[in-house]
Structure 1
């Protein structure tokens, strides 16, 4: 990777699909995983949306997000049941046909014993025209990638395995570095100082997080930057502010 490529900003959005997420029946475990994963490899997750199993909602979200970010990742709705409509919705978003893909069908035929590849299970082999398959080492039914949109399962173990499979194909930017400073004072005692430091170092992201410790309010300040020298300077400024608040 060249220096220019490493410095390039790479962004992403995550589209979580499913009525069960919105109703609370299923607790999402994929958002935090993907945010951590992408940050580690140098991709900024800028937006997360949750939409129901409604074709128009999925189509609108996919088309808006894929135009605004380097990558879009989706989870949910590619199973064998009637309400698994994600694949059809993605095809509609791109304006391409969808049908049983011979590659995906062969994977499922090799996975299921003879006679057990039912019509319902065969639905998982329906892939939009022009898409590449995403490997699923857990349950075999593949996800797929079409242009900059990566469509994956909602089951966390499967989704995480799919992310591992596609990671080598993703371009990445300069990784975000972070430091943290613990302060044995309430957040309010540091608000003005932290705000001033953020203004002095606009290329950093500084977050202030209140905590309780044995009934006392304390604060953890997290400083993030892609430039190590800037990060160290901003962190030193935060430590100085904390020392002043404790004096």
Structure 2
């Protein structure tokens, strides 16, 4: 893993699967990847969900890989006919694809002689020139080709693959985050002033997030930036703003 000082390292996630779009499967991977890469200093900028349709996967892969440093995909690398991610990525990158002996060797650690049937060997189909991503759980690997990182959709397997591929990634400066509790102050009582304050601190992202807890609304203001001094200065300004306000009866 190498850190790119002063350079923005960005990423997108492409979630692939009809079951996600239908609601049958509830995605658990986006939040995990977002938190994981943010901790590495990689900015997650976009998430898309597409069906198991090759043309749509190809179009999304080509759009996102051109726009961001890395593209993470999840889903569609299993043994069934609708698992078409590997073939779609190969097509998007203009690469040949076939059963990879390295992937077969990994899978033999799990499957006995004769169990690697044609369906299971679909999981060993890897685009030409790709680096494999180890899968300690079910052994069928993911892969990284150019800046596209292809992982399983099963959360536990995806998480293991993410751990395996992380050391290969370029990273940026870590994001500094400060969270301030606005208590019972309603957003409407500080929204205008907070907007002006945000304009005075352009290097810091400032957001207000309400929640309903304990029978009432509470608000938190979250500040994010890569310059610790800039985040600290903005936080001091927000504290000064909040200290000069009194709560009202409006919830927001």
- TM-score, normalised on structure 1? 0.96
SS in 1 for 2:237: helix
Distance 1:88 1:229 in 2: 47
Contact 1:143 1:153 (8 Å CA) reproduced: yes
Q: Partner residue of 1:198?
A: 198
* Pairing 1:70-109 to 2, within 5 Å after superposition: 70-109=69-108
Shift of 1:110: 2.8
Post-superposition shift, 1:96?
A: 1.3
Runs (5+) with no aligned partner, structure 1: none
Q: State the match for 1:144 in structure 2.
A: 143
- Report the 3-state secondary structure (helix = DSSP H, G, I; strand = E; otherwise coil) of the residue aligned with 2:92: helix
Higher helix share: 1
For 1:30-69, what aligned pairs fall within 5 Å after superposition? Answer: 30-69=29-68
Counterpart Cα distance in 1 of 2:142 and 2:180: 41
Unaligned runs of 5+ in 2: 248-252
Q: Residue 237 and residue 83 in structure 1: after superposition, are their counterparts in 2 closer, same or farther (change >3 A)?
A: same
Moved over 4 A (4+): none
What does the per-residue CA deviation read over 1:186-216, in whole Å, with 9 as the maximum and x for residues that have no partner? Answer: 1111101110111000111111011234433
Instruction: Look up the match of 2:211.
Output: 211
Whether the 8 Å contact between 2:126 and 2:143 is mirrored in structure 1 is yes
**Is 2:18–2:51's contact at 8 Å kept on the other side of the alignment?**
yes
Per-residue CA distance 1:26-48 (angstroms, 9 max, x = gap): 00000000000011010000000
TM (norm. structure 2) is: 0.94
In structure 1, the partner of 2:117 is: 118
* Residues 35-92 of structure 1: CA deviation (Å, up to 9, x unaligned): 0001101000000000000000000000011111000000000000010000000011
- Aligned-residue offset at 1:117: 1.1
1:180 matches 2:179:
yes
Q: How far is the alpha carbon of 1:219 from its aligned partner?
A: 1.1
- Partner Cα separation in structure 2 for residue 190 and residue 220 of structure 1: 12
